[in-house]
A and B are shown apart, each in its own frame.
Chain A
Amino acid sequence: MAYLSTTKTNIIAISSCVPTHIEKTADYNHISVEERELFAKTTGIKERRVAAKDVACSDLCFTAAKHLLDKYNCAEEIDVLIFVSQSPDYILPATSILLQNRLGLKKDCIAFDISLGCSGYVYGLSVITNLMQSGQLKKGLLIVGDKSSTSTTYTDKSTYPLFGDAGTATLIEHSQTKNEMHFNLQSDGSGKNAIIIEHGSCRTPFDKTLEDLVEIEPGISRAKKHLILNGMDVFNFALKEAASNITTLYEKSNKSKENTDYFVMHQANKLINESVRKKLKIDLEKVPYSIDVFGNTSSASIPLTMCYKMKEALRTKKLSLLLSGFGVGYSWGSVILETENVYTKLLEYDRA
């Protein structure tokens, strides 16, 4: 187990940006009406936001981050920018560095990418708060998002109707108060084949057949460049690991579930999340969902859910939160943290 805690950092604000285009599960005519209904009932996904082909994940993230920088007039003060995503602009250079320039941040700014999906927000928080807790870095931007629609295709019913696109930004500052965050972070690469884009990088480089659609089984045709998802194995992993990771974190941190106001979980699918919630014996009203309207937004799902469902509570109250992300890798982790008067904003992507 990798248990660690950080101190002296505050979340000031969170913004999220989604595309305007909505795709409804009921309209997904690659599968039968009955299958659409069962899919919606099981996953909880009624609709998703899907970005246009020429819109990158970093465009959504830029919009989210720019909003915060303008509101707090603090572009000059950002000392560190971390971009967490598995849909970068390019194989190289790192998208964080492009965002540093595009957002008008100073050159005296640390910028780097972290390649993680569903667990990415929790991991990103652990890294940026570690960098900032000494006080040498005063303000930081954690930019987290994914454009999964780039790596899925309409003819693959196992992935296409599941994922939505979103970008988020979280503004963090060094604080004189103790303000601890407690993390439990875990990894298991033996699960690599459960969620994978196998082709197009060093291990299996581009070739001429990368775009060719191949029927894998009825209802699932995809090309080598597309995402492969083994839903049953992912489900098995989440049931086995997510709840026990959270339980261990409470034990190690001497915090209690009863004193936690909200449990914000990665929006994997409703059946998984409800199974985890029931294992932990948490009341439904303490577990906000955004999957019904945004789908599984990968790394963005935790901050997006906070912006969508917790705006008033985050703005007006002091809250104790449990955030938990689990998925591709396998990689998973949880954090217990406190927030007070956090500003949130949910934006739609404006091409202009």
Chain B
Amino acid sequence: MNSIEEFTKGLEVEFEDLEPGTLSSATNFRSIKGWSSMHALIIIAYIDANFNALLNGADLKSAQTIQDLYNITIEKLK
């Protein structure tokens, strides 16, 4: 599993329109500019494709920050 920094940087690339360095592990991902349900799908696809872990709607709802997403992903891989 990648580090939280690599995880965050990868997610930033997936969101495309963000300036590098916009996201940190503490970022509440729902607060990013223009957040919509499409971003949630992008998160699920990113984690599935890169870490082979599948998050569901409940997982997303329970997460607030990118650190939370990272922790859920680690739990799924156990």
Contact = CB atoms under 8 A, between A and B. Distances in A.
B41 A42 contact: yes
B40 interface: yes
B44 A232 contact: yes
Best-buried of B41, B42, B55 by chain A (most CB within 10 Å)? B41
Contacts of A43: 38
Main secondary structure of the interface of A (DSSP, over half): helix
Indicate the size class of the contact surface on chain B.
Answer: 10 to 19
B38 A232 contact: no
A134 interface: no
Contacts of B41: 42, 231-232, 235, 269, 271-272
Nearest to A269: B41
Given A34-B34, A158-B37, A271-B42, A236 B49 contact: no
B44 A239 contact: yes
A236 B36 contact: no
B15 to A, nearest CB: 9
A288 B36 CA distance: 27
Interface residues of A, number: 22
A243 B36 CA distance: 27
B21 interface: no
Nearest to A33: B34
Contacts of A256: none
B38 A275 contact: no
Most B CB within 10 A of own CB, among A38, A43, A278: A38
B34 A236 contact: no
Contacts of A233: 56-57
B59 to A, nearest CB: 9
Interface of A: 31-32, 34-35, 38-39, 42-43, 158, 230-233, 235-236, 239-240, 269, 271-272, 275, 278
Q: Can you list the 3 inter-chain pairs with the closest CB atoms, starting with the nearest? A: A232-B57, A42-B38, A236-B56
